[in-house]
């Protein structure tokens, strides 16, 4: 039976980057993994096919041979340049790609090896002005750091952790599941490979203690909700001398009482009087840089948008500055005096004497349509 094209197996183009291939493999492997498809022989075969494709395409030399000669170039039985190493290399592939998800990578046989600390996330609320202009913030975050009393061992001063008897210090136990041999975290030592019989009083055997630290965060101009700022090495402390994780500051921009943001553009509603809408006028409208004059032409209808160029947001990743869109809303007058009512009634009489179609064309068109609708029903 002929083999499928490896690029087809991973559903990527032939010119895909290493990052795209790795991402595609991760997606396919999760889809067909035996743990998600128990007793499914077809999924098991596809899983093996996906791993085979990834081993070839993730290796520059093997990929080059495959691109030039096809499957013959990587088949050891054909004397090719590459050759698929079989299931023996599966653990290395799986650990490399999924290590950042499942916290392991490279198998559990290195329980005492240096381990990178976990990444942390902090939600930072910003006002619209702070997000648009940029600012500096101080944040106070809880984090886990190495216990100074036991130097991270978790054992009481003067004692040492002992090797776990269940996993022999590997931190993992191996279980057979059909075709695959699966490694799982040791239930006794929780993957550490060591058992603390006399725990440290300060960290209670964890090797880490909780502390608070204050960090200065520079917020660049133009950030928006969902943007992240990475502070390298400000996450949780690593284990066994490993590096600390990173801190990701997640931006959340609060609602503004006047402006609404849509990407690089800003919107605001500007109420105008009946007189200004009919006769025209000039208004002061707010922008993030101060007040500006906005000229309202005569006979302006409610909902009309006026664009103020360059009064929006400069995107954080570069590009032209957005605009401010002012949407006018004609406000019906309230709390009228007797004289004001009389004047409006006199105005109404002049409208009626000349017919509404001239001063209110939309209103006239609407009611003409309504009349036709009912005439058609009765006719």
Say if pTM beats, i.e. exceeds, 0.85. no
Residue 325 CA to residue 336 CA, distance in Å, equals 31
User: In this structure, are residues 57 and 24 in contact, taking their beta carbons and an 8 Å threshold?
Assistant: no
Give the pLDDT confidence score for residue 84 in this predicted structure: 41
Give the pLDDT confidence score for residue 193 in this predicted structure: 80
Residue 318 CA to residue 3 CA, distance in Å, equals 46
Give the pLDDT confidence score for residue 76 in this predicted structure: 62
Tokens of 153: 């061992």
Identify the CATH number of the domain defined by range 108-143+204-254. Answer: 2.60.260.20
Terminal-to-terminal C-alpha distance of the chain? 75
Quick check: 15 pLDDT over 90? no
For range 96-105, the mean pLDDT: 43
Fold for domain 6-106? Helix Hairpins (1.10.287)
Q: How confident is the model at residue 361 (pLDDT cuts 50, 70, 90)?
A: low
Segment (H or E) for 135: strand 135-146
CATH 1.10.287.110 in the chain, residue ranges: 6-106
Give the pLDDT confidence score for residue 348 in this predicted structure: 85
Tokens of 119: 């990444």
Quick check: 121 pLDDT over 60? yes
Average pLDDT, the chain: 81
Residue 344 CA to residue 103 CA, distance in Å, equals 75
- 22-31, 104-113, 306-315: range with lowest mean pLDDT: 104-113
The β-bridge relationship of strands 180-185 and 162-163 is: unpaired
Segment (H or E) for 268: strand 265-273
CATH 2.60.260.20 in the chain, residue ranges: 108-143+204-254, 259-331
Q: What string of DSSP letters covers 226-254?
A: T-EEEETT-SSPPBTTPPP--EEEEEEEP
259-331 CATH pick, 2.60.40.1080, 3.40.50.720, 2.60.260.20, 3.40.50.2020: 2.60.260.20
Burial (CB count <10 Å: 0-12, 13-18, 19+), residue 245: buried
Give the tens place of pLDDT for each residue, 238-253.
776 788 889 999 999 9
């Amino acid at each position: 039976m002929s083999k499928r094209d490896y690029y087809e197996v991973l559903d990527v183009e032939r010119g895909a980057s290493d990052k795209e291939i790795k991402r595609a493999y991760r997606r396919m492997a999760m889809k067909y993994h035996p743990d998600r498809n128990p007793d499914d022989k077809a999924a098991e075969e596809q899983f093996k096919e996906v791993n085979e494709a990834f081993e070839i395409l993730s290796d520059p030399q093997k990929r080059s041979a495959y691109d030039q000669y096809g499957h013959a170039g990587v088949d050891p039985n054909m004397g090719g340049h590459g050759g698929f190493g079989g299931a023996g290399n599966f653990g290395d592939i799986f650990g490399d790609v999924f290590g950042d998800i499942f916290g392991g990578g490279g198998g559990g046989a290195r329980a005492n090896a240096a381990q990178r600390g976990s990444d942390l996330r902090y939600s930072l609320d910003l006002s619209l002005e702070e997000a648009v202009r940029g600012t500096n913030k101080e944040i106070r975050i809880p984090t886990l750091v190495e216990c100074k009393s036991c130097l991270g061992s978790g054992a009481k001063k003067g004692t040492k952790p002992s090797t776990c008897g269940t996993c022999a210090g590997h931190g993992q136990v191996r279980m057979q599941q059909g075709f695959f041999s699966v490694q799982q975290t040791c239930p006794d030592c929780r993957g550490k490979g060591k058992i603390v019989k006399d725990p440290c009083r300060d960290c209670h055997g964890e090797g880490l203690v909780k502390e608070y630290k204050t960090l200065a965060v520079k917020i660049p101009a133009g950030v928006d909700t969902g943007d992240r700022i990475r502070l390298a090495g400000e996450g949780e402390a690593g284990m066994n001398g490993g590096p600390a994780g990173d801190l990701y500051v997640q931006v959340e921009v609060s609602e503004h009482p006047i402006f609404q943001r849509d990407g690089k553009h800003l919107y605001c509603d500007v109420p105008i009087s009946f007189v200004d809408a009919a006769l025209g006028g000039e208004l002061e409208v707010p922008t993030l840089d101060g007040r500006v004059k906005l000229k309202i032409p005569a006979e302006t209808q409610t909902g009309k948008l006026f664009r103020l160029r360059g009064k929006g947001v400069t995107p954080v990743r570069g590009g032209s500055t957005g605009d401010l869109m002012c949407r006018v809303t004609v406000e019906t007058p309230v709390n009228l005096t007797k004289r004001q009512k009389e004047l409006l009634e006199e105005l109404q009489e002049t409208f009626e004497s000349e017919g509404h179609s001239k001063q209110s064309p939309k209103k006239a068109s609407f009611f003409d349509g309504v009349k036709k609708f009912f005439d058609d029903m009765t006719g």
